[in-house]
């Protein structure tokens, strides 16, 4: 009754290349996410140290009084 036309006729080779390309993109995105997380952790540690230094300043005691 109704015939369905295949608009996207992919061979097995093209399908494998597409799957490999998607896998590579996902791996690259994962590596970038890990790199950004490590960089942000380093920045947070530096900010925590700076915050502690600022809390230890004598001016802070005068402001609270």
Dump pLDDT digits (tens) for 7-41.
Answer: 566 687 888 999 999 999 999 999 999 999 999 99
CA 56 to chain centre: 34
Q: Is the pLDDT of residue 57 over 90?
A: no
Q: How many domains does the chain have?
A: 1
Cβ–Cβ < 8 Å for 26, 32: no
Task: Say if pTM beats, i.e. exceeds, 0.75.
Answer: no
Residue with tokens 């896998």: 23
Is 53 part of a structural domain of the chain?
yes
Residue 30 has phi, psi (to 5 degrees) of -65, -45
In what helix (H) or strand (E) does residue 4 lie, and over which residues does it extend? none
Q: Tell whether the model's pLDDT for residue 5 goes beyond 80.
A: no
Structural domain of 63: 32-65
In a domain, 5, yes or no: no
């Amino acid at each position: 009754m109704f015939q369905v036309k295949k608009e996207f006729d992919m061979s097995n080779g093209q399908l494998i290349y597409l799957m490999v390309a998607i896998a590579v993109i996902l791996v690259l995105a994962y590596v970038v996410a890990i790199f950004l997380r490590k960089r942000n952790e380093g920045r947070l540690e530096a900010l925590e140290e700076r915050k502690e230094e600022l809390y230890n300043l004598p001016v802070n005691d005068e402001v609270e009084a």
